[in-house]
Every structure is written in C-alpha cells, then in structure tokens.
Structure 1
Amino acid sequence: MEKKREWMLPVVLLTLIQASVAVEIQPSANPAAAGDNLTLSLSPPVSLTAGSWAVGSSLILTWVGDQVADFATHRGRASVNVVSGALTLSSITVADSGVYVMQSSNPTLKANTSITVFEPILNVRLEVNQTNLTELNSLLVMKCSVSSGSSPSFLWLNGSSEVRGSDRVQLTDGNSTLNIVNVTRYDHGPFTCVASNPVSNGSSSPQSFNIVYGPDHMALTVNGSLFVGSNLTVLCSAQSNPPAQFEWAFRGESVNQTGPLLELYNVTEDQSGPYSCVGFNNHTNRNNSVTSHITITSAGSTQPTVNTWLVSLLLLVRFLLSLPGVF
C-alpha cells in the first residue's frame, strides 16, 4: 500500500505543474494618460472561471463564475471580463500608477506588470522679463510653465533651431528657465518653449524681441562718372536698428547735408578728396564712420595726351618704313 502512495505523489505534482499557465499582462497603453481608459489583458489568451486583480497590496476586484465583487477603492471604475480575465479601469488618474497583479486558481496562474500614469501637458506659457533690449547690454530671461502635466521636460527653440547652453546661454530650473546674457541681434527670435512628457506635449506661443544695435559694418558706394562736370551720388549704408541717422563731411569739415545719400552736381577737380559719413543711433548712443577718397579728373585733359602719343608713334613708324634697306 505504501508503494502505491509513493507512486501517486509525483503524479499529483506533475498535474499541478501542468495546470499552471505562463501568461503576461498586456496593457492597452503604458505609460498611460490620465483621463483615459486602461485595459489589462492576458497574453496568450486563457479561459478562466475565477480570479482576482490587485494593485500593490490593495484588491481591486475578485470573481467566481459570473459573480464579481469590487472593492471601495475602485468601485464604479473597474470591470472584468469573467472569461478572459481582462481588467478595464475607466478615467484613470496618476494615483492609478503601480504594480498590477492578476491571480487565478483555475487554471493556476499569476502575472504582474507595472503601470505609470501621467497627467497630459496643458497650456504651455512663456513669460519674459522684457521685450525691448540693447545689444551686448541687456539680460534676457524667459520662463516656461504648464497649467498641468506630470513630470514635464522642457526644450527651447529659436526659430527652428534648438537652443543649447553656452557661455552666454544658461538653462536652469530643469531647463524651464532660459537666460541669455549680453544679447546680440541674432537673439531676436521667435523663441518657443516645448513641454513634454511620455504621453503628451505642447508648445508656447512664439515670442520675438526688438533688439537695438549698431551702427556698424558701414560702407560707401559711389554712383556716377568721376569726370569734371558730372553728377555724383554717394550712398552711405550701415547695419543698425533702428536705422541710423547720417551726417556728411568733406576733408574733415561738415557739409550741409544729412541722410544716407550725398548728391554732388557738376563736380570740379576741387571736389576731389576724402568724403566721410558718420552714422548715429540714438537708441544705442553709439556712432560710427566710414571714409572714402574720391578723385575727380578732367575728361579733356587725358584724351589729348593719349592722342599725341599715338600720333608720335605713327610718325616714327612711317619714318622707319621710308628708310632704304630697313625692310
């Protein structure tokens, strides 16, 4: 009789091992967004007659056959498919994050998975300390925030280019604050803040800035003929915001003309010399200048010289040809 019992024990153990089913929990989304519905299904599919779901150490519900008992913490939000064992939670919140455990005794199985729920990003806002700045003399501070959203991360764009840290550019407070020291004309924007988390993202409205600078990179352009009696125009240009104001000088003496264009009519040789343009920017309190030497020549004085040289050359050639035995 003892021998028969020894033979039955491994058979029972083998039966229990065969009855245990290896399954995994497949969430409909993970990470999941707060406010959505979440379904936890078993893979591969199995048919169950009883089981339970819990999150952490708290029971969500149990069932036997088609009889379901849910617990107060999830009452009205949790339902189960009594055949497949799939659990559905409606209108999930961040508090629903945790480790979910499903157990069944027929067949015997146990599976778990970790679920993280994030609040979606809403209403990304960008605040600035000022919008009118002076090149190399102003500090620009931009702060990004969201009205709601779990664990937001922040990224900054200047136009379509990502803003990265440097000696002048500082990203602080988890990248939610952007400081630009000694702004330049290229920091005018538009700047956009992008906030994101694993389930959503959002962007602020673009923000541009007025940055005053200059005048610099000045240049003079001369248009017209440089002969006596001609009319000349000299154009002065500069990089400046707002546009620079210009004054003119000839041989170091101010001339009674302002603006970017100096007009000279019926010029003479006496008007040859250095012409200077001085640019001013009243917003930056800066000035700059550029000088160009203009030489006025007489069109009639050069032509006879060329003609006389040509005539002399022709006479010499004619004389050589007349000599006997030269050719």
Structure 2
Amino acid sequence: MDLSNSWLILFFLLAETGFCSGDQLVMPAEVSGVRGKSVNFTAQGFPGDVSMVTWTFTPKTGSSVPVYTATPTNEKVPDAYKGRVKYNRTLHTLELSSLTPTDNGVYILTVVDSKLDQMVGQTSLRVLEPVADVTITSNMPEAVEFNSTVILTCNAKGQISCTAKNQLESLTSATFNLTVNYGPELVKKTQDPVLDFMKKGSNLTMSCTAQSSPAAEFIWVFNGNILPQKTATIVLSNLGEEQSGNYSCLAYNSKTQRYVTSEVTKFSVLEAISGTSIIAPTSPLIAGNSTVNLTCTSSMGKADSVQWKKDGNPLENSNRITFSPDGKTVSILTVQKEDSGEYSCQLKNKISSDGNNYKLTINYGPDNMAIKGDKQALVGQPVRMDCSFASFPAPTFVWKFNDTVLIGEEKECLTIPNFENFNSGIYTCEAFNLITGLKRTATHNLQVKEAAQEQNGLSSGAIAGITIAVLIAVAVIIGVCIKKRRKVSEIPSPY
C-alpha cells in the first residue's frame, strides 16, 4: 500500500468518526467551464503545514468518487481522471481538462494539516456547451399575413444585430455586444540572450506572453518560489551564481480563474576565469635528484578543464610525468636536463578561458668533460687547450699541471704563449658547479715535438717574422678565451 492510499483511508476514517470539526476553505459557490476545455478550482485559506489534500466529486446522481489526493511527497490520481487533472501546489489550484457534461456536480476539497485538523471547502461546476456559428431560426417555415406571429431567433458570438423584414418595411434591433472571456492560452516565455550558461555580472531579460481576454496577469517562479515581479517582462541585472536554476511564468485570467504555466528555462551563472598563474618550487632543481610539481590556479572563476603544454606541444603522461585527478597539477619525477623549457597551462569553463606560462630551469653537470688541443707542440710555439663541458649554470675552473694548481688560470681555456721543454706533462681541467655541487675533471698529455731541423737555414728576418706572428697568435687566443668566458658568464640564471 503506497503513502497516498494510506492517507486516503485515514481521511475517510476521520470523516466517518467526526475526529475534527473542520474549518472552511474559501471557494466560489459555482464555477463554469466549457465542454472540451479546462476549468480551475482555487481555494484560499490554506494552512501553512499541509499534510494531505483530497479532492472528491459528487455528481448530480450517484455517489462521491475521489479525483485527486496528495501528500507533501506523493500524489495519486484515479484511473478515471488520469491525464485530465493537474494540481499546482504553490497556488493550491486544481485544473480539470477535457470537460464533459458528466463533470457537472459538486467538488469538495479537504485539507488535513500536521495536527490532523481538517479544513473543508466546496464548489459546484456547471459545464456549458461551446458557442457555435451564427444562425437564425424561425418558429415556422411559412407565415400568413395578418394571421401568423413570426419569431426569429438570432444566435451568435461577438457584436451582432438582428433585422426583421417584410415586403413593406424592416426594423433592426439595437446592437448587442457579447463579450467572451477566454484563456490564458498559448503561454510562451522568451529569453534574451538565449544561453544555457551566463557570465557572472551579465544581464538577462525574460518575457511572458499569452492569448487571453481579459489580458492575463503574470507570476514568475524561480526554483519553485514566487518572485516579486508581476510584469510580463523581468530583467535580471548583474547576475550572480546564486541565480542559477529553473525559471517559469504563470499566466492568470481573473475572469476565467485559470492558471497556465509556461515551459521551464534552466541556466547556470558562471564566473569568468582570470588571474591564471603557475605555482612552482622556489628552490633550485637538480637533474637526477629533484621532483617538481607545477600547479595551475586562477584568482577568479572555476575551471572545467585544464590543458598543459611544454614548448608549445601537448604534455602527456609518461613514466615520469603524472597529472592530478583534476588535471591542475603536473608532477615530474626525478627531473632531467631535458625537462627544462617553457610550460603553459590553459584553464577553461563554459564561458571563458585563461592561461599563463612558466619557464622551468633544471640545473645539471658538469658532464661530458674533455680537453681539446694538440698532443704535441714545438718549442717556442704558442699552445692553447680548451676545457669542454655540459653544465647549467656554467662551472668555475681550476687548471693543474702535473697535479700542481696553476695560479690565476680560472678560465675554460689555458694558453702557453711560448712553449718550452719544461711545459711538457699532464694538464688537468677541474670544473665545479656551485648549484649541483658536482665536480668533474679531464686530463690532457702535452709533449714536445722534435723539429730542430725545421729551424736550420732560417734568416734573421724570417726568425723575426715568426716571432711577430707568434705574438699576434697569442694575443688572439687570449682575446678569444676572454670573450668566450664573458659569454658563458652572461647565461641568465632563474635564481
């Protein structure tokens, strides 16, 4: 047994035992409806805490039958009235459609509150035949002069007049104005702009129209609550997120006592995304040692999705790159130097998008240490050795000769202007990265090249020319080293 049946049984038991006396609900003594159309029964004086509403119908002949029963959470319509009954819980109005002459009779409304007190109201329904086309009828097909009395009956709707004529004269009746109250019908609600998602702070206009005589009055409903506006058009200015929901309008005719509801419009108010930034670690990141989390946030608005890119290409999951469930945080496990680059995130919702970039720097090295230069040199010849490396930031350097530190030689290149026999030996380049704390070395064996025969037979002028050329070469080598060292030192550091 469902809840509505239980309440209905309780109602009839209370009615039979006289458990409560019952106050009166205010209802019109009689309402009229047109065959084939609808009629509304409206009552006033409802209690604030309704537990059950019951409508019953007593025909002119026969016993009472239930029409509609409702509790706060359930409702029941008998099979005989399914598809013909609608009940508006807000206005306490019962609509009965597709009227037939068998609907003539008394309709009784019984309301039970939470204390089981009972209120009763009743009204009578008269079902009228619809007005048909204009016709004229006569009480006889033919008449005899001075002998017959002719009665002509004119039936019509609208503004009409009737005229009687014979062969000698005619007489027209006074104009009769017939007013037919109808509606509301064809209730339509429009919205401008027509969007499912509205930007916070924007404006929205809604209008309601209906065919009705007299003109319909309008009631606006938001999420089941009646709004204070009673006009055909309402404007919602500076929309807030709390105004998201369902909107509809009710058209009401005070003459026909009918309410008709429009279709329901649903939209959501969203805040545009702005102030997007990427939160990253402030401590230095070291290749092979650090893990980094990049988080995309915004100061305004909520995002439905987030897209990450690195150097303009989509960033995807891998064995080292993972994303949080909401996609806003990307984690890079055990960063490598290849992870350096420009990262971007783009936040989106139904009405906006916003993004930002972040340049990620990974400190690494020194790696791939090596010394580039000749293995042999002639006595008196300038010699240059270059220490190559892979490192960020650029390391500091120490040069050693046969494990003895060469004072003042702290550049990545070492120059010997005039090579002598005692310069032969093992040269060591030692590089140290201040951020990673790593130190790497490379060695180079430089020996004298026997070439005494190449010096025989040279004139003093040739010797002087060679000496000048050597000095120029040494100056160029020193300049190149200084310029290269300055270029390395100008590499920007994010710290």
Does the pair score TM above 0.5?
yes
Residue 397 of structure 2, aligned match among 243, 246, 255 = 246
Does residue 54 in structure 1 map to residue 206 in structure 2?
no
Aligned-residue Cα RMSD (Å) equals: 4.6
Q: Could you tell me whether the CA contact under 8 Å between 2:187 and 2:251 is conserved in 1?
A: no
Shift of 1:208: 4.4
Using a 3 Å threshold, how does the CA distance of structure 1 residues 299 and 231 change in structure 2: closer, same or farther?
same
Q: What is the Cα deviation at residue 197 of structure 1?
A: 1.7
Partner of 2:242, secondary structure, is helix
Partner of 2:333: 181
TM-score, normalised with respect to structure 2 = 0.44
Q: Does 1:231 align with 2:382?
A: yes
Alpha-carbon distance, 1:215 to partner: 0.3
Amino acid at match of 1:199: I
Match of 2:320 in 1: 168
Q: CA deviation at 1:179?
A: 2.5
Change in Cα spacing, 1:273 to 1:112, as seen in structure 2 (3 Å) is same
In structure 1, what is the Cα distance between the partners aligned to 2:333 and 2:241?
39
Distance verdict in 2 for CA 1:270–1:80, change over 3 Å: farther
Matched, 1:93 2:236: no
Cα distance in 2, alignment partners of residues 267 and 40 from structure 1: 94
* Relative contact order, higher structure (CA 8 A, sep 6+): 1
- 8 A contact 1:28–1:40 mirrored in 2: no
Per-residue deviation, residues 125-173 of structure 1 (Å, max 9, x unmatched): 5444433222221222333433442345334454544443332223215
TM score, norm. by length of structure 1: 0.62
Q: Could you tell me how far 1:262 is from its partner in structure 2? A: 1.4
How far apart, CA to CA, are the structure 2 residues paired with 1:41 and 1:235? 82
Structure 1: distance between partners of 2:211 and 2:428: 94
User: Alignment partner for residue 269 of structure 2, among 109, 117, 134?
Assistant: 117
1:154 to 306, 328, 339: 306
5 Å-filtered alignment, 1:31-110, equals 31-40=197-206, 50=216, 51-60=218-227, 69-70=229-230, 80-81=232-233, 87-102=234-249, 110=262
Check the 8 A contact 2:341/2:360 in 1, yes or no. yes
Query: Matched residue of 1:218: which SS?
Result: strand
Larger radius of gyration between Structure 1 and Structure 2: 2
- Partner letter of residue 170 of structure 1? T
Q: Distance in 2 between matches of 1:298 and 1:39?
A: 99
Size of the aligned set, in residue pairs, is 271
User: Which has the higher mean CA deviation after the structures are superposed, 151-160 or 239-248?
Assistant: 151-160
Unpaired runs of 5+ residues, structure 1, are 1-7, 62-68, 71-78, 82-86, 305-327
Aligned-pair distance for 1:230? 1.2
What per-residue deviation string (whole Å, max 9, x for no partner) do you get for residues 102-143 of structure 1?
Answer: 56589x994343312112224435444433222221222333
- AA of the residue aligned to 1:181: L
Is 1:256 the counterpart of 2:406? The answer is yes
Q: 1:234 to 1:114 in 2, by over 3 A?
A: same
